[in-house]
Amino acid sequence: MGRAITFIKGPRSRLNVEIQWLLINHAFELGYRRIHFVAVVRNNASNRALGEFGNQYEGVHRNMRMKQDEFYEHNKIVEENDMVVTSILSSEWPLLRRVVEEWMDDSNVDQNGQPIQQYEEIRDRVFAEANGSSAGIGRATALLFAKEGASVTIHGRSSESLQKTLDLLKSAGVPENRVLVVQGHIEEDKTCQNLINKTVEKFGKLDILVNNAGIAQKAGAGTLSMENFQYIFDVNLKSVVLLTNLAIPHLEKTKGNIVNVSSGTAIKAFAQRPFYAMTKAALDHFGRCYSLILAEKGIRINTINPGLIATEFRYKTGMNEEQEQKLQKSLSENGIPMHRVGTSEEMASSILFLATDATYMTGANLVADGGVVNFSPTPKLN
């Protein structure tokens, strides 16, 4: 009968005839001959039937409708298929959103070549990212949000690195009118003011603020010097507090949210860069305290604690590539239970989750570190 594949449609998602044809054609090219579309509806809710395709693919696809609670019990759908793919799912009730196999990246466009957003509520939202848009997690996050349909403000210190991010956004098909660039030193009040004010001036609103400021060492300063202490606190903490305060009036209007990028070192002591770890620990508690203040305004604030991320640590500490590779190898073998470092794209996906699906989370910390904070070396007994 051939391989089978199931596409699952969420209760608020859009899955029109053209998109279904696109998915069917790609599936056929890959050798799938049993294609199922499942429309999941809310309890006691009505939902439009999926598009009809006549008999062109007789015996190949079938349409099903079921309630949310029925879906969990319908394991047969998963068991009898080689692959289950979620397509353009509702953010309110995400079903298996992880897209299986890379070919979905190619098929996830409409007839005009424009990306089909998986996160419906991201489209037409305004996303501003403070610091780091020119590299690592910040760049990956800006790209992901823009691909999902958001207008983005990117910020960094290096014009060359910001230009690279701009080029990547253009290559991804993001229109220039959906991108704003703000350059400057984030520890300066004027830069923070420009970032928020220019975002609202250009796009008319602000929905999501990502505070990605993170520097581990001031170039030329001693690790334990007061010069290093002051600089790291100004960049990693003072800027976040100022940006948040500046953003609150705008986020209150849109019922938006804030995601702070912290670190696993906020939880687990880090002797090599103590001031960095201290600022991140303070950032974690800042999020908890402000969540109580902002809840009444309809604003969520959450924090992600990444572990060791490829290229990110070198960018923040000034390590050269050889030093970073040695560190990654050592930690992957001895300190990271998952035996690998994380990627910027993985962190970007987690940030997107906190900014979208996590509608009942505020003041929370999402640790994404491969298990490091829970790990302690223990002797093997056998």
C-alpha of 62 from chain center: 33
Q: What is the DSSP letter of 115?
A: B
Convert the pLDDT of each residue in 144-183 to its tens digit: 999 989 999 999 988 888 999 999 999 888 999 999 999 9
Convert the pLDDT of each residue in 57-111 to its tens digit: 333 334 444 343 443 333 333 333 444 444 333 332 232 233 333 333 344 444 4
The answer to whether residues 354 and 255 belong to one domain is: yes
Question: Is the CB of residue 203 less than 8 Å from the CB of residue 127?
Answer: no
Sequence-distant (≥ 6) Cβ neighbours of residue 221 within 8 angstroms: 227, 228, 231
Last residue of a domain, one of 84, 107, 130: 107
Last residue of a domain, one of 73, 107, 141: 107
The answer to whether residues 154 and 264 belong to one domain is: yes
The answer to whether residues 199 and 83 belong to one domain is: no
Q: Do the domain assignments include residue 112?
A: no
Q: Do the domain assignments include residue 127?
A: yes
Q: Do the domain assignments include residue 165?
A: yes
The answer to whether residues 192 and 295 belong to one domain is: yes
The answer to whether residues 99 and 124 belong to one domain is: no
The answer to whether residues 226 and 330 belong to one domain is: yes
Catalytic hit among 32, 231, 276, 315: 276
State the residue range of the domain holding 61. 3-107
The answer to whether residues 101 and 166 belong to one domain is: no
The answer to whether residues 277 and 151 belong to one domain is: yes
The answer to whether residues 149 and 223 belong to one domain is: yes
- Between CA 352 and CA 346 the distance in angstroms is 10
The answer to whether residues 362 and 224 belong to one domain is: yes
166 forms beta bridges with none
Report the pLDDT value the prediction gives residue 320, as an integer from 0 to 100: 73
Report the pLDDT value the prediction gives residue 324, as an integer from 0 to 100: 72
Last residue of a domain, one of 54, 83, 107: 107
Q: Do the domain assignments include residue 231?
A: yes
Convert the pLDDT of each residue in 290-335 to its tens digit: 999 999 999 999 999 999 887 655 655 666 778 777 777 777 777 8
Q: Do the domain assignments include residue 382?
A: no
- Between CA 243 and CA 216 the distance in angstroms is 20
Any idea which of 113-127, 135-149, 241-255 has the lowest mean pLDDT? 113-127
Give the total number of structural domains in the chain.
Answer: 2
**Which CATH number belongs to the domain containing residue 200 in this structure?**
3.40.50.720
- Between CA 19 and CA 172 the distance in angstroms is 20
Per the annotation, the verdict on 276 as an active-site residue is yes
* 3-class secondary-structure state, position 257: strand
